[in-house]
Structure 1
Amino acid sequence: MTDKTNRGVSRVLSKLEASIAAGNYYEAHQMYRTLYFRYNAQKKYDECLDLLYRGSLTLVNKEQYSSGADLALLVIETLEKKGTEIGEDIDLWIQRLGVLIRKITPTTVEREAIINRAVRWSGEVSKNNLGNPQMHKVIAQIMWAENNMEQARHHYLLSRDGLSCGQMLVKLSQSKGYESEIDLFIAQVVLQQLCLKETDTALQTFETYTKYHPKIASSEPPFILPLLNFIFFLLKTIEAGGRLIAFKSLCDLYKPSIERDPSYEKYLQKIGVIFFGVPSTQPTGGLMGGMFGDLFRLFRGLEDEDDNDDDDERNSTNTSRGINRNNANNTSPVELD
């Protein structure tokens, strides 16, 4: 900056401090915006970010939530202009944005825009279309503290933190769910995580939930609830390399449990494509008439081909026998190769 510009900024900063001290928050807000434009014109992004962050904190601490939120949006706008130059400071600014979001009241109109833009910015600088997992974790913790269960669940799902996600689901199940829904809470999240190709996170989420939920208290089968056994063996099948015949057998055996939630159809369709080499198809009807009908027809065709391959035939027979022997009523463990 030129000396003249520096002197101009210094004068505005002095007036700004006087306005804050006198309680003239509207005037202070306008001066913060003036400085924002001056710093950006000179591409002094670091100075601008520090000024706006401190200004936003000052205003929200004075309960000037709308003005503080406006400066928070300018923080994100400046981060967007700085782009990938943020470098190692990305973690610092994720935490700082978390501080601002936490301090701005949920009823503040601009808050949702701040959250959405923070996620989008974090995704752009970390090259993750769904947003930086750490940004999602910070927001999830805020939503959980505010008892906003729906948003907490959404952001924990994208946080790649299976431990926290599992613990959250335990509390969510106990506080918001019926006992008959214990297995549904974890099944949907694990299937969604698998659709995101987050196999390690899905496994950690499942193990945490089943271990610490007081109505389950076990991370190993046999589980009393059939759907938990299905998820357990689905994870094991994927971990073992994803045998198509084993996937078919599991879906066939646990069909009554899978049909409890119509959304499982689309999740399992995508999981079949990702992990088991099933061609992508569009559902055309109900569970058996849509994805499962097409899927099972494909399996039967593959089984016919397996008749010409002794090794594959022996493996598939052992798998089917293990499942039918141990879980005829969908409640006992399944032995998979």
Structure 2
Amino acid sequence: MPPRSLPTDPTLILPPLLSLVESNAYSAHQKTRTTSARLISHGHPEEAILVLFEVSKALLKKGETGSGVDLAVLMLAAYDGKAEKVTDVSRGRCTNLIALCPASGNWRKTIIDASVNWTAKNGTSPAGDATLLYYIGALLVREKDFLKAEPHLISAGTRDAGRLLGEMGFEWCQSGLIDPSPYLLRLTLPFLLLSPPSILPARTTLQTFLSLLLAANPSLLLQRIPFPSSKPGEDDDEILFTSLPVANWLQLVVRSVQRAGPEGKAGWSELVGTKYRVLGRPGLRDEHVREAVQIISQQTFKIAPPRGAGGANMLGDLMGSLFGGGAR
């Protein structure tokens, strides 16, 4: 007697599995693992992905978080196995499962990490898919988990992410009741450490943060200083000169990097020399700011670092220190 042919159509596979979730979640989890492995081994990864997604979703809704996350990770492994491209559908499955995970514990982080890693391998950016990163960052901002939201939004690197970072920074410093300087630095500088620097989100973050800060604390604004455009046909810019030296310095830094070129070296050297000394102690340790300046000088302005400065992984170390703890 020939062996019984097992179904591969998810519309036949899913009803008994989803019914089993309600009566015996453990058995549903185990049967789904076995079924998905069979489907993949017989050349049906798409069907396996759909089965894993639907049962994972049902388990998470039922509060079986560990089992649901396990199947979600298997789904993402199946994505990797077939080099699934990042699309609205494939990304949407990830965000759907992330949304169903409770914020407490590490289960949600497991799905988030696996999702970002998949998009980094199969998307267009080595940092991960910008839309996914923005979704994760926005979710964490709504939960007031600013420290965890920060790297996701910076990695997203979009105008929307910059706007949300600026709003987050303003709330983080309690509308200016806490010195905003370290928050301005940590949310703006990382964009300028990239090669090439990411100007749009840097400017958007800084502009949004300052606009909210000055609206809540009008006395901080001392003067609006015109900043001529560097290109014919472009609208002139302006510097919001405030009583916060860090805010003034960052505005000039962003614009200097935006206009970088051989002719900009002298202005940059002046900005990070004499004018840099007005920073004092901005909250982040001074060496972090000095290292950031050195990286920008070297990468953007092609200025050789001082002898003995930095190391092979200085950028990685600096980014780690910037993201490593709350601003103080």
TM over 0.5: yes
- Percent identity of equivalent pairs: 19
Q: Among 220, 226, 241, which residue is 1:222 paired with? A: 241
Please point out which of 252, 255, 258 is paired with 1:233: 252
Residue 107 of structure 1 aligns with which residue? 104
What does residue 292 of structure 1 align with?
Answer: none
Per the alignment, residue 245 of structure 1 pairs with 266
Matched, 1:267 2:292: yes
The Cα shift of 1:160 comes to: 1.3
Aligned position for 2:192: 194
- The one-letter amino acid of 1:198's match is S
TM-score by length of 2: 0.76
CA contact (8 A) 1:95 1:138 kept: no
Distance 1:8 1:221 in 2: 62
Question: In structure 2, what is the equivalent of residue 29 of structure 1?
Answer: 29
- Structure 1 position 15, deviation (Å): 3.6
Per the TM alignment, residue 25 of structure 1 is displaced from its structure 2 partner at its CA by: 1.0
1:56 is aligned to 56
Q: 1:93 Cα deviation (Å)?
A: 2.1
Letter in 2 for 1:246: G
Higher share in helix: 1
Q: Is the 8 A contact 1:227 1:254 kept in 2?
A: no
Give how far 1:100 is off: 0.9
SS in 2 for 1:6: coil
Once the two structures are TM-superposed, the CA of residue 12 in structure 1 deviates from its matched residue by 5.6
2:277 to 246, 255, 261: 255
Cα pair 2:173 2:180 within 8 Å, conserved: no
Read off the aligned partner of 1:165 and give its amino acid letter: G
Letter in 2 for 1:268: V
Structure 2 distance, partners of 1:156, 1:278, is 29
Determine helix, strand or coil for the equivalent of 2:187. helix
Deviations 1:117-154 (A, max 9, x none): 21111111124322222221111112122221111112
Q: Distance in 1 between matches of 2:6 and 2:65?
A: 30
Query: Aligned partners of 2:123 and 2:42: how far apart in 1?
Result: 26
Deviations 1:297-334 (A, max 9, x none): xxxxxxxxxxxxxxxxxxxxxxxxxxxxxxxxxxxxxx
1:124 and 2:121 aligned:
yes
Count of equivalent residues:
280
Amino acid at match of 2:120: G
Residue of structure 1 equivalent to 2:17: 16
Distance in 1 (alpha carbons) for counterparts of 2:11 and 2:241: 70
Which amino acid in 1 is paired with 2:54?
Answer: R
SS at match of 2:6: helix
Secondary structure of 1:158 counterpart: helix
Q: Distance in 1 between matches of 2:10 and 2:119?
A: 30
Structure 1 position 191, deviation (Å): 1.1
Structure 1 pair 98–250 and aligned structure 2 pair: CA distance change class (3 A): same
Structure 1 residue 180 displacement after superposition: 5.1
Question: Could you state the TM-score of these two structures normalised by the residue count of structure 1?
Answer: 0.74
Q: Which moved more, 1:153-162 or 1:263-272?
A: 153-162
Q: Is the CA contact (8 Å cut-off) linking 1:76 and 1:118 kept in structure 2? A: yes
For structure 2, the 5+ residue unaligned runs are 225-237, 311-328
Structure 1 residue 67, shift from structure 2 partner: 0.9
Decide whether aligned partners of structure 1 residues 9 and 201 sit closer, same or farther in structure 2, where only a CA change above 3 A counts. closer
Question: Post-superposition shift, 1:61?
Answer: 0.7
Larger radius of gyration: 1
Contact 1:66 1:109 in 2 (8 A): no
AA in 2 matched with 1:97: C
